[in-house]
């Protein structure tokens, strides 16, 4: 496994989620989808940079950092949105749980990618700046 493999999978899941239409057209859904889109963009950017032989490590680490940080805020809004959907019974449980599975999987992938991020960051930056605490624990 490598950072590339984990990020590719995250990118694929993010794309799948973004391809689905808005379900409620509400602020929380808009916010989590915006974060998801930003994450997807920076996953692609990371993968492009990884392909380049002489990539700028700061540039690469910045993109990786945005991926993690987007993932973290996207979960906050997704979970809030999911709760409101459940409380208001606006979306079926099966639909919500399918979405949740994908969101959780992305987090797991990012957690598993941490050792690779650490090795890229070594000598450049404290990897704790790149990867939020709750992905490292």
Partner 1 sequence: MTGKENIPDANVEANENVDHWVHSTCNLCSIGCGCEIGVKDDKIVGIKGEVSHSINMGKLDPKAKDQWYANYSKDRLLTPMVRNENGELEKATWEEAMDLMVEQAKKTLKNKGPDGFSIYSTGQGFLEDFYTIAKVGRAGIGTHLLDANTRLCTATTEWCLLQSFGSDGVPASFEDFDHAETVMLFGHNPAETGTVLFDRIMERKNRTGKPYLIVVDPRETASAKEADLHLSLKPGTNAALLNGIIRQIISDGNIDRDYISRNTIEFNSMRNSIEEWTLAKTSAMTGIPEEQLTLAAKVLGETPSLVSTTLQGAFQSSDATTACVAINNLHLMRGLIGKPGCGPFHMAGQPSSSGNRTVGGVGTYPGNRNPANPDHLNEMAELWNIDAEKLEIGPEKGIMKQIEMIENDKISFFWNIHTNPLVSLPNRQRAKKALEKAFVVVQDPFLTETTEVADIVLPPAMWGEKEGTMENADRTINLLRKAVEPPEGVKSDFEILVEFSNRMGFKDKDGNPLIQYTTPEEAFEEWKKVSKGRPSDMSGMTYELLEKEKGIRWPATEDKPEGTTRLYEDQTFPTNIDYCQSFGKDPITGRPKTKAEFQQKNADGRAIFQPTYYFGSPEMPQDEYPFWLNTGRLLWHWHTRTKTARSKKLEEKAPRAYVEMNEDDAYSLRINQDDLVRVTSPRGEIQLPVHVDNRINQGEVFIPFHYGNWDGEQSANEMTMDVVDPVSHQPILKQAVCKVEKIS
Kindly indicate which of the ranges 5-13, 15-23, 29-37, 44-52 contains the residues binding partner 1, using the contact rule CB under 8 A: 29-37
- Which of 14, 74, 106, 113 is close enough to bind partner 1 by CB under 8 A? 74
Which of 9-17, 67-75, 91-99, 105-113 is the region at the interface with partner 1 (rule: CB under 8 A)? 67-75
Q: How many CB atoms lie within 10 A of CB 13?
A: 19
Instruction: Tell me the per-residue interface mask from 32 to 51 with partner 1, x by CB under 8 A, - otherwise.
Output: x-xx--x-------------
SS3 89: coil
Residues 6+ apart with CB under 8 A from 71: 10, 35, 39, 106, 107, 110, 135
Closest CA to 65 of 38, 94, 27, 92: 38
Q: Which two tokens stand for residue 48?
A: 């492009």
Residues making contact with partner 1 (CB under 8 A): 26-28, 30-32, 34-35, 38, 58, 62, 65-66, 69-70, 72-74, 76-77, 79-81, 83-84, 87-89, 126, 128-129, 132-134, 137
């Amino acid at each position: 496994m490598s950072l590339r493999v984990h990020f590719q999978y995250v990118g694929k899941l993010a794309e799948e989620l973004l391809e689905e239409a808005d379900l409620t057209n509400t602020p929380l859904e808009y916010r989590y989808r915006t974060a998801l889109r930003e994450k997807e963009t920076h996953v692609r950017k990371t993968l492009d940079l990884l392909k380049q032989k002489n990539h700028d490590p700061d540039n690469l680490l910045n993109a990786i950092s945005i991926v993690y940080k987007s993932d973290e805020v996207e979960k906050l809004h997704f979970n809030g949105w999911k709760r409101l959907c459940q409380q208001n019974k606006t979306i079926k449980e099966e639909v919500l749980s399918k979405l949740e599975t994908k969101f959780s999987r992305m987090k797991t992938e990012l957690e598993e990618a941490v050792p690779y991020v650490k090795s890229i960051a070594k000598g450049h930056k404290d990897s704790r700046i790149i990867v939020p605490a709750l992905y490292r624990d």
